[in-house]
């Protein structure tokens, strides 16, 4: 009996699978009004500090076309049960210093706070550190974004610096700080070694997902 392939043979461009999702490269042809509608949700607009309005299909297409899929990549996280695109992740690589900056939006409202990025984070960071041999994974969080802060700190990132009053918040007109987080390869390995129970608990978020 042959082992299950790491990369799906039936879904082109798939870079990774997790228990409930597959992750594949996005192209401008993936643009849709449904993706555009994500940006009309208050949680998305606030999380990204973006204007709260739906993007047109053409705006989404232009946005997706802005990624070169080399140093600046954009991937989609899809529900395996129905091929629904639930999240978009951007990875900006600096090969000279072997660093990647991650950004993510879980745009499908029913899928937020269900454990989607928790389920993806272990295989994704193993890919970055062990397969791609990166040295550092970085992320930023507005001080008002409690979910992303809890995610970063709950999965072993360290807050290295805070830029005070970095961003003017569109919704409130107040300034928010920007926290700069990172994790080295060794910190990731140490966190994994110390967090086996956590990893087992976040590995499969099926029980929290909405019906297909």
Ligand X SMILES: CC(C)(COP(=O)(O)OP(=O)(O)OC[C@H]1O[C@@H](n2cnc3c(N)ncnc32)[C@H](O)[C@@H]1OP(=O)(O)O)[C@@H](O)C(=O)NCCC(=O)NCCS
Residues that bind ligand X (CB under 6 A): 43-44, 47-48, 103-106, 112-118, 141, 145, 147-148, 150-151, 154-155, 198, 202
Token pair belonging to 37: 């509608």
Report the residue number, 7 or 194, with the smaller CB distance to ligand X.
194
Rg (CA), the chain: 17
Strand runs labelled E in 117-184: 136-142, 158-168, 175-184
Report the residue number, 14 or 87, with the smaller CB distance to ligand X.
87
CB-based closest residue to ligand X: 47
Nearest to 47 by CA among 90, 104, 86: 104
CB of 145 to ligand X, least distance (A): 5
CB of 110 to ligand X, least distance (A): 11
CA distance 156 to 67: 28
CB of 9 to ligand X, least distance (A): 27
Report the residue number, 134 or 205, with the smaller CB distance to ligand X.
205
Report the residue number, 7 or 171, with the smaller CB distance to ligand X.
171
CB of 149 to ligand X, least distance (A): 8
177, containing H or E segment:
strand 175-184
CB of 200 to ligand X, least distance (A): 10
Q: Beta strands 158-168 and 136-142: pairing type?
A: unpaired
Report the residue number, 64 or 118, with the smaller CB distance to ligand X.
118
Whole-angstrom CA distances from 187 to 56, 131, 182, 199 are 41, 16, 9, 15
């Amino acid at each position: 009996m042959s082992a299950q392939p790491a990369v799906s043979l039936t879904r082109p461009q798939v870079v990774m699978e997790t228990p409930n999702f597959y992750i594949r490269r996005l192209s401008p042809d993936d643009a849709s009004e449904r993706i555009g509608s994500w940006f009309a949700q208050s949680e998305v607009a606030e999380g990204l500090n973006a204007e709260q309005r739906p993007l047109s299909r053409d705006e989404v297409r232009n946005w997706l076309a802005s990624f070169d899929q080399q140093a600046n990549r954009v991937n989609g996280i899809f529900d395996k049960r129905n091929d629904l695109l639930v999240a978009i992740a951007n990875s900006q690589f600096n090969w000279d210093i072997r660093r990647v900056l991650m950004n993510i939006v879980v745009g499908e409202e029913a899928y937020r706070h269900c454990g989607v990025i928790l389920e993806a984070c272990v295989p994704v960071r193993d890919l970055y550190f062990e397969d791609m041999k990166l040295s550092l994974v970085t992320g930023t969080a507005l001080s008002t974004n409690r979910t992303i802060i809890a995610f970063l700190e709950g999965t072993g990132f360290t807050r290295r610096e805070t830029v005070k009053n970095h961003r003017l918040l569109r919704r409130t007109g107040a300034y928010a700080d920007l926290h700069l987080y990172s994790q080295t390869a060794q910190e990731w390995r140490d966190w994994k070694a110390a967090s086996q129970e956590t990893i087992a608990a976040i590995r499969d978020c099926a029980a929290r997902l909405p019906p297909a």
